[in-house]
Structure 1
Amino acid sequence: MKPLRATKYCEIWKRGILQEDDDMHAIEKIKVKSTGNFEVQFAFYKKREENQLQFVSRPLDLSEEILLELFEVAKDQKILSDKFFDDLKGIIDRV
């Protein structure tokens, strides 16, 4: 299996996207080149000509509803593990 994309910082292995007009909210499974660790990255992209994505280096601001939808995409596409969601459920149950 090959990464979807590689940058100087990381390799992007999986990506789940929610689109609002030309704005793309993403959750990604990345492999950081300097450490070799797999991590989760939230990202914001703008859709350019010919459906190309342009990474926007700024914080990803989301409504709670969009965040929940992004987590749902992450679960469906196995970007976040079942263990992550089990652990998250345990935290929520304690609140």
Structure 2
Amino acid sequence: MVNAIKTTDYCVLFNQGKVTTGDSVYAIEKILVRKKGTTEIRFAYYKKDSNGKENFVPRPLDLEEEHLVSLLKEGIKSEVISKEMLQKVIDES
């Protein structure tokens, strides 16, 4: 069993790649959605408070292209995006 980074009523967070710009944190996450029992990939946005704690912001994630590229790289490094999934995208392009 994979260790969870964080568990909430909504999901279990297994892997996370992050890019930080100032007090904004952009994340790509592999989660298990409890109610559906499905493993999903989530793009998320967190805002750091004055103590540096990251607070989830339930809004769409809008990124400049360079930040999206960096986030996708982090997603690959942290195994949110599997090599199999990446190969599938390349093969189907």
Q: Under a length normalisation based on structure 1, what TM-score does the superposition of the two structures give? A: 0.88
CA distance in 2, matches of 1:49, 1:39: 31
| Ranges in structure 1 where 5+ consecutive residues have no aligned partner | none
* Bigger RCO (CA 8 Å, 6+ sep): 2
| Ranges in structure 2 where 5+ consecutive residues have no aligned partner | none
- After the TM superposition, which segments of 4 or more aligned residues of structure 1 sit over 3 Å from their partners? none
Aligned residues: 92
Q: Which has the higher helix share?
A: 1
Residue 4 of structure 1 deviates from its aligned partner by: 1.2
Work out the percentage of aligned pairs sharing the same amino acid: 33
CA distance in 2, matches of 1:23, 1:91: 33
Residue 54 of structure 1: aligned partner: 55
CA distance in 2, matches of 1:80, 1:67: 14
Q: Structure 1 residue 11 and structure 2 residue 12: aligned?
A: yes
Q: Under a length normalisation based on structure 2, what TM-score does the superposition of the two structures give? A: 0.90
CA distance in 2, matches of 1:68, 1:4: 23
Residue 73 of structure 1: aligned partner: 74
